[in-house]
A and B are shown apart, each in its own frame.
Chain A
Amino acid sequence: MNHGCNEFGRMMVSRRTALRVSAFGLASVLKNPWGGAFANSPATGNADSGNTDTGNTDTGDGSKNEDRRGKPRAKSVIFLHQYGGPSHIDTFDMKPNAPDGIRGEFQCISSAVPGSPVCEYLPRWGAQLDRWAQIRSVHHDMKNHNPACYYSLTGKRPPTDDIRLRDTLELYPAYGSSIAKFLKGFNGVPSFIAYPHILRDGAVSPGQHASFLGKQCDPYFFQADPNSSDFALPELQLPSNVDLSRLERRRDLVQWIDREVKLIEKSADARGLDSLQEQALQILSSTSLRDAIDLTREDSALRDAYGRNTYGQSCLLARRLVEAGARCITVYFSQSIGGKGSDGWDTHQENFKDLRERLLPATDQTVPTLISDLESRGLLDDTLVLWMGEFGRSPNIGDRDGKGRGHWPDCYTVMMAGGGVRGGAIHGLSDPKGAFPARDPVGPEDIAATLYWALGIDPHAEVADTQGRPLPISTGEPIRSIFS
């Protein structure tokens, strides 16, 4: 029986963590979906990390929920990543009183959270804002897309702000890969699934795979478009003349042959391929994943509600994958940074036109639908949803064509919902121009820590890099004030 990443993890992490990890591995082997597993997860026994909250300025309703407060309860995460860098000032951190060159063209409308207006082109999301927590003081120091993207996908500061930051195994793993290392997917479903684009800006952006955690923790990744009429992943369906006993016979034979030359001992790639092969065989032995992929099983009206486009159907698929048992589903909005006339959020030109006509309408259709869909199925409390990009956009208008906003890592907003997040919470504030954090600044490290913590993974759990050195999966602190 393959234990996937847990097996791998057992060799690397400290003995104490190892005991917890293997206990959890056992729980998932016993096919105990949802229930029970968290009693053994890495974070719960870890009271020491519970008292190190970063500047908690929110007042929270601690008294009533004393016992639940601070207890992680998400089982899965849907990570929505908008490459290019969405403008914070034109979406959730509106600055109606800022001067002309900063304020922007958009009007504020009131939202479900009193005192927290949103952009006029996000009416549906605004009406639902009381499901969301806003972190308005996220900042870092990477001005280029590739390093900033890596930072946003891993929570690890890149060694350099080099536009062509090289994707080496010294760099950190994607969030989903770290999650996959500690949490197995349920029902043989891969823990980490990512689609439908490979992010690149000149070169493939680092942070989209398992890096030094090894191929076992790589995402199950596909580029097929969930919105296309013939969307399917045929490799998930066994042919009619191969039943499970025949598959078992084949597995036995291949193991017999692999023992002859023992490449698995000699090559990291061969070893990776071997454990991936095992995982593939497990996936084929169950039906949950391939049913989840079949979007035609979904109600057509709901498909319309999500939006009949790649992003909309990708988000719908994310919900189905949560139900199937995946732990981290990463949906990339676009494959490139884009900008005007292309597909991403890099609005150096025509910032307002592009947001108004293309980016915000699609977002406002899809994301609120995802939340209400999760909620109506009783999944929202178990599922943490993150919406963010690699940075925000400059308060000063006037980039390039005079109508754009430039890159702005110094302050931007990250949105979280579900998974125990306290709706309406706001952590941190930006200054009056939206240029720098005015209160409770947090870094991508803290976003990473929050994500891991919400899933019950000790944010400081150690993993081994390629040299066998222990590294914490995050150096940040979870933002616990936004959880109820």
Chain B
Amino acid sequence: MATLPALRSSSCDLTQICVARFGLIFMILIGGVGGNAHADPNDSSLPAPSLRILPSELVATPQYPALFSIQYCNADGTIVDITRSEEVTIEVHDTDIARPAPPKISAVHPGTTNVIIRYRNLETKATFLSQPDAPSTFSREVMSVLTRSGCNQGTCHGNLHGKGGFRLSLRGDDSDFDHYRLTREYGQRRIDPWEPEQSLLLRKATSQLAHQGGARFHETSPEFEILRTWIAAGAPASKSPELTSIEVVPKQILVSGSQRNAQIAVLARFHDGSVRDVTRWSRIEPSTPTGIVVDELGYITVSSSMDVSLGVTYLSGRTAARIVFLDDSKTTTQQGEGSMASTVSANPVAINPIDVIVGRQCEQLRVPPQPRADDWTLVRRLFLVTVGRLPTVDESKAFVQDPDQDKVNQWVDRLLADPDFDFMWAMRWSDLIRNEEKVMSPKGTGLLHDWLRAQSASDRPIREWVAELLSSIGSTYDNPPASFHRTHRDPFVAAESSTQVFLGVRMQCAKCHNHPFDVWKQDDYYGVAAYFTTIDRKQIDNKPKDELDKHIITGDEVISLLDRTPEIQHPGRSRKVSPQPLAATRSKTTLATTSDTPHTEPPHTEPTHTEPTHTEPTHTEPTNTEPAHTTTVLNDFAQWMTHENHQFDKNIANRIWSQYFSRGIVDPPDDFRDSNPPSNPELLDFLAVQLKQSNHSLKSLSRIILTSETFARSSDGNVAQMISLDPSIYFASYPIHRLSAEVLLDAIADATGVHSEWPNDSPEAVRNTRAIRLPGVPKKRGFLTTFGKPDRLLVCECERSSQVSLGQSLALVNGKEVRDKLTDAKNRIDALIRSERSNFDLVEELFLVTLCRPPSPREMERAIQLLDTATDKPQSIEDAALAITQNLTAPLYQKRRAMEDLLWALLNSKEFVMLR
């Protein structure tokens, strides 16, 4: 959830550079300069190379020496970490107070002094605050040893069942619990105050006794000494002031140069105002486990360029740093040239902020943005991502031939108004809120799908309809949004689903313990779950075929709220827990959320969220809903979730973005956490703010995204090999993606001119000939399952698979769907061969209905040759009989077979199956 951090030193502040660059870009834009947009290195607006030390205020005690990162800051905003360079000299002004002990500075006596860092002709200063040590305690020193050494990991003693009969709280969640286990359990067998070195704890941890976890530290290590001293003192349950926060510096840097190193430092602040450098005592876990080494003192070495985030844990604190190691083979200046030009030159009329933000990051990362894709590619892409179908021949041609400079805007407006745009979003949301027939019944599935579609059609503010979805009660047939509480049937599922779908966070871990890698606490989990504890469900006319299957509900279900206090038993507390929003987002919420607080509408002029809207054309007026003016515990929840909740806005904005790029800025889109940062934080923040300012309008935000140059970029920068700084992650090149199951099936249907058929047991069978319009998950769905249509049993985006498999190849090469459509007597080929059109025309049409582009000369030549030389004869009696019943003369028969082969090849080409 980090934006670009405000770095503490002013000497080469990243944000400052951004501002400088930003200004520069705008000057170029306004001037309409297309060619050389590269900045002159002598330009005085750019800062000269400088030296920086982080943190700029060093803090140390004798026991906690200070670690720091010394950075050589290039003019382009990148740094080279020279912390361990031999050319660096560190001078301490008062050596009675501090003494350099590279790569650390040790405290000697309390006091304040200055540290001067010199490197070549540069120098920088930091203040150094030396403090006396506080007494070593159990809650701080001992606990940090247990976490740092990995003793309390989930795979070791932190496991629910412990390990070898010894259990600790997961990642040091509960120091009282751990103290008990270490000192009291099994007759104090783990410690020996009389002979501390002989304590089981130490002999196991140093592997003097067989220890499955191996040696965690050595007898000469500080870890050993801390534990030994503590045991010798009688293993007291001593406590230090509570930890209030931890901070990592640098939080975000771009590292250039062939030396791929970086030092990070972790600072911990305690309740009494004291600060410690705890780098040595933090657990630092990189997002990529391979190709990176983090040493004991937080010094990082990587083997190749990479974009890595480092999760940092110290006691109960969690934070993360992001470091991008740039590809050294590319130099800034060379990359800069063409790239900025292509970012901005194509459409000088309107500057889309998305392009400025993306362009800026591309330049920083030295990832050149691709030029604009050609119009044929662009129109295909536009149609596929918005309305889930290929453009027709006429549409493709009209777009390409449209001379209007502003044509993309006009076409985007048309597509946003197309009913299939709403079907695409109804499908996405139906996937996420688990709209499937088993629990919802076929009728209920259709009704909820209609309702979701109507929200998109009327462009109702997303926060408004989400609030209605989360808070509606009553009959799910009369009031479809009440279905959310039909598909999410217990407080835990509802808590997990609502936070994952609408906030993009995964809280499941916090059910049993504080989240090990994220900020979520068990209190958060139960606080959210408590909102859903008074929901009651009554089934009307439920007649499942299999009575043992409790997941099948065939009729209507009426959701109501019981008249009792919503609360839930927290496993770790004696009292029940009342509804509470997530702590981490609470500070960003402006409204009180306890149910006894009267709700007043926010001061701006948005429609109220409790008012039923009248945009839905198809469903009947709710008969069983609460009057609009009373608020329920679900209204409270919905209000917190959707109102002034920046995380909600970011999540929704990210989902919208991912719809059009097949990849989120945070990816996967439902996995927001510090250690999975957005690939471009500034872009995500911009979109979130934009969403909010547009009154949560899906279509407004979609319009900005779809009309950007970023969306129109070619995909030619992608490479099949995994590379470290993949341009598509930063949207410098449009990501290539396989068409989703439904879109692919519809594309095959359109190309062949034969609709898909659905089993009659679906009430929607008649009108839903297109797969993207299916409300639920049809029982017989071979092709769709093969290509990854989700069963809608999970709220996870991961349930929809975009992988490729042999089954898919077989389905395309010889599957029933493709085969039947290709050989259908009344398909497009039949119409084409009976027309009077030339072979040239026929070939062109087949290319346009599949790849949405005309064939190249070499393709045309090959295809014409195929048609001209077709001499096939019927291969079997059935085949011959078919030719007769279809009234095919020999030349027509031959042409038909050649055309089938060509269309087969087009449908099987990678270009057809992929969105590019």
A residues within 8 Å of B by Cβ? 141-143, 159-164, 167, 170, 190, 202-204, 209, 215, 218-223, 234-241, 243, 246, 249-250, 253-254, 256-258, 260-261, 263-274, 276-277, 279-281, 283-284, 341, 406, 465-469
Chain B nearest CB: distance from A445 CB in Å?
15
B160 beta carbon closer than 8 Å to chain A: yes
Question: Of B161, B548, B906, B908, which is in contact with the most chain A CB atoms at under 10 Å from its CB?
Answer: B908
Chain A CB within 8 A of B212 CB = yes
Q: Inside 8 A of B154's CB, which chain A residues have their CB?
A: 160-162
Question: Nearest chain B CB to A161's CB is how many angstroms away?
Answer: 4
| A-B contacts, 9 listed (Cβ < 8 Å) | A164-B506, A222-B807, A239-B814, A246-B897, A257-B851, A257-B909, A257-B911, A273-B808, A467-B304
B796 interface neighbour in A203, A265, A267, Cβ under 8 Å: A203
**Could you say which of A159, A203, A223, A283 contacts B798, with CB atoms under 8 Å apart?**
A203
Q: Which 3 A-B pairs have the closest CB atoms?
A: A253-B905, A276-B809, A235-B810
Contact call A271/B807, Cβ cutoff below 8 A = no
Q: Are B736 and A263 in contact (CB under 8 A)?
A: yes
Distance from A227 Cβ to chain B, minimum over Cβ atoms (Å): 18
Residues of B within 8 A of A234 (CB): 815-816
Partner among B212, B808, B901 whose Cβ is within 8 Å of the Cβ of A250: B901
Q: Are A270 and B720 in contact (CB under 8 A)?
A: yes
A230 to chain B, nearest CB (A): 12
Over the window 212-227 of chain B, the binary record of Cβ atoms lying under 8 Å from chain A Cβ atoms (1 yes, 0 no) is 1000000000000000
Q: Is B806 an interface residue (CB 8 A)?
A: yes
CA distance A254 to B288 in the complex (A): 38
Within the complex, the shortest CB–CB distance from B806 to chain A, in Å, comes to 5
Contacts of A239 in B (CB 8 A): 814, 819, 823
Q: Which of B722, B785, B914 contacts A467 (CB 8 A)?
A: B722
**Residue of A162, A235, A254, A277 with most partner-chain B CB within 10 A:** A235
- Residues of chain B with a CB closer than 8 A to A164's CB: 506, 508-509
* Smallest beta-carbon distance B78→chain A, Å: 23
Contact of B806 among A159, A218, A469 (CB under 8 A): A218
**B residues less than 8 Å from A219 (CB atoms):** 806
- Let me know if B913 and A266 touch, CB within 8 A: no
Interface: B42 (CB within 8 A): no
A270 to B290, CA, bound (A): 26
Chain B: how many interface residues by the 8 Å CB criterion?
76
| Given A258-B910, A277-B812, 5 new contacts (CB under 8 A) | A141-B155, A161-B159, A269-B737, A281-B813, A469-B291
Q: Which residue of A lies closest to B160 (CB)?
A: A143
Set A240, A264, A270: member contacting B876, Cβ < 8 A: A240
Residues of chain B within 8 A of A202, CB atoms compared: 794
B913 close to A273 (CB less than 8 A): yes
Report B-chain residues with C-beta under 8 Å of the C-beta of A268: 720-722
Q: In whole angstroms, how far apart are the Cα atoms of A264 and B720 in the complex? A: 7
B residues less than 8 Å from A142 (CB atoms): 155
- Interface segment among B192-200, B201-209, B711-719: the answer is B711-719
CA distance A254 to B812 in the complex (A): 12
Q: Kindly state whether residue B879 has any CB partner on chain A within 8 Å.
A: yes
Residues of chain A within 8 A of B802, CB atoms compared: 269
Closest chain A residue to B879, Cβ basis: A241
B875 within 8 A of A: yes
B290 touches A465 (CB 8 A): yes
B738 to chain A, nearest CB (A): 5
Assembly CA distance A271 to B859 (angstroms): 21
Known A-B contacts A276-B804, A284-B813; the reply to A269 vs B736 at CB < 8 A is yes
List residues of B (706-741) whose CB comes within 8 Å of A's CBs. Answer: 715-716, 718-722, 724, 736-738
The verdict on B916 contacting chain A, using a C-beta distance below 8 Å, is: yes
- A203-B794 contact, Cβ under 8 Å, with A269-B914, A276-B808: yes
Q: Which residue of A lies closest to B906 (CB)?
A: A257
A260 contacts which of B872, B902, B911 (Cβ < 8 Å)?
B911
Task: Give the distance in Å from the alpha carbon of A230 to the alpha carbon of B862 in the complex.
Answer: 42
B residues 296-335 near A (Cβ < 8 Å) are 304
Q: Which residues of A contact B159 (CB under 8 A)?
A: 143, 161
**A170 B289 Cβ-Cβ under 8 A:** yes
With A141-B155, A215-B805, A220-B807 already in contact, the answer to whether A235 and B814 are too (CB < 8 A) is: yes
Given A161-B154, A256-B862, are A267 and B291 also a contact pair (CB < 8 Å)? no
**Which A residues are in CB contact (< 8 Å) with B909?**
254, 257-258
Once the chains are docked, how many angstroms separate the CA of A241 from the CA of B904?
14
B720 partner, pick from A163, A220, A246, A265, beta carbons under 8 A: A265
B289 and A261 contacting across the interface, CB-CB below 8 Å:
no
Tell me the complex Cα distance, A196–B879, Å: 35
Instruction: Establish whether residues B914 and A221, one from each chain, have CB atoms under 8 Å apart when the complex forms.
Output: no
Instruction: Decide if B9 is an interface residue (CB 8 Å cutoff).
Output: no
Report the Cα distance A60→B806, complex, angstroms. 43
A267 and B902 within 8 A (CB): no
Give chain B nearest CB distance to A333 CB in angstroms: 20
Are B911 and A263 neighbours in the complex by a CB distance under 8 Å?
yes
The reply to whether B904 and A250 contact each other, CB–CB distance below 8 Å, is: yes
A241-B876 in contact (CB<8A): yes
Q: Which residues of B contact A281 (CB under 8 A)?
A: 813
Whole-angstrom CA separation of A206 from B257 in the bound complex: 37
Chain A CB within 8 A of B404 CB: no
The distance in angstroms between the C-alpha atoms of A185 and B73, with both chains bound, is 56
When the two chains form their complex, are residues A143 and B161 in contact, meaning their CB atoms are under 8 A apart? Answer: yes
Tell me the nearest residue of chain A to B811, going by C-beta: A235
Complex: how many Å from CA A95 to CA B804? 47
- Cβ B910 vs Cβ A280 within 8 A: no
Shortest C-beta distance, A457 to chain B (Å), equals 21
Are the CB atoms of B856 and A240 closer together than 8 Å? no
Q: Decide if B814 touches A284 in the complex (CB within 8 Å).
A: yes
Query: Smallest distance from the beta carbon of A138 to chain B beta carbons, Å?
Result: 15
Q: Output the residue of A203, A249, A274, A468 with the most chain B CB within 10 A.
A: A249
Q: Does B163 contact A (CB under 8 A)?
A: yes
Which chain B residues (730-776) contact chain A, with CB distance < 8 Å?
Answer: 736-738
Given contacts A164-B508, A257-B909, contact A270 B914 (CB under 8 A): yes
| A233 CB, nearest partner CB in chain B, Å | 8
B878 is an interface residue with CB less than 8 A from chain A: yes
Contact among B163, B819, B862, B916 for A261, CB-based, below 8 A: B916
Which residues of chain B come closer than 8 Å to A222, judged between CB atoms?
807
Does B803 make an interface contact (CB < 8 A)? yes
B866 at the interface (CB under 8 A from A): yes
**Complex Cα gap A125–B911 (Å):** 53
| Most chain A beta-carbon contacts within 10 A, residue among B161, B548, B813, B872 | B813
A276 vs B738: C-alpha distance in the bound complex, in angstroms? 14
Q: Separation in Å of the A465 CB from the closest CB of chain B? A: 7
Known: A250-B904, A341-B548. A266 touches B718 (CB 8 A): yes
Known contacts: A280-B810, A280-B813. The answer to whether A263 contacts B904 by CB under 8 A is no
Contact (Cβ within 8 A) B291 A240: no
Cα separation A235 to B904 with both chains bound (whole Å)? 15
Nearest CB on A from B161, distance (A): 6
B62 to A: closest C-beta gap in Å: 36
Pairwise interchain contact B805-A218, C-beta atoms closer than 8 A: yes
Which residues on the B side are within 8 Å of A236 (C-beta)? 810, 814
Closest B residue by C-beta to A255: B905
Query: A289–B325 Cα gap in the complex (Å)?
Result: 49
Instruction: Name the B residues within 8 Å of A466 (CB-CB).
Output: 722
Residue of A nearest to B794 (CB): A203
Contact of A279 with B809 in the complex, beta carbons under 8 Å = yes
Contacts of B906 in A (CB 8 A): 257
Q: How far is the CA of A256 from the CA of B911 in the complex (A)?
A: 12
Interface contact B911-A258, CB-CB below 8 Å: yes
Chain A proximity mask over B873-916: 1 for CB below 8 Å, otherwise 0: 01110110000000000000000010001101110111101101
Answer whether A267 and B720 are a contact pair too, CB < 8 Å, given A246-B901, A249-B901, A280-B813. yes
Judge whether B866 and A253 touch: CB under 8 Å.
Answer: yes
Contacting pair B859 A266 (CB below 8 A): no
A221: chain B residues at CB < 8 Å are 805-807
B716 partner residues in chain A, CB cutoff 8 A: 266
Contact partner, B804, options A215, A223, A256, A263, Cβ 8 Å: A215
Bound complex: CA A401 to CA B300 (Å): 50
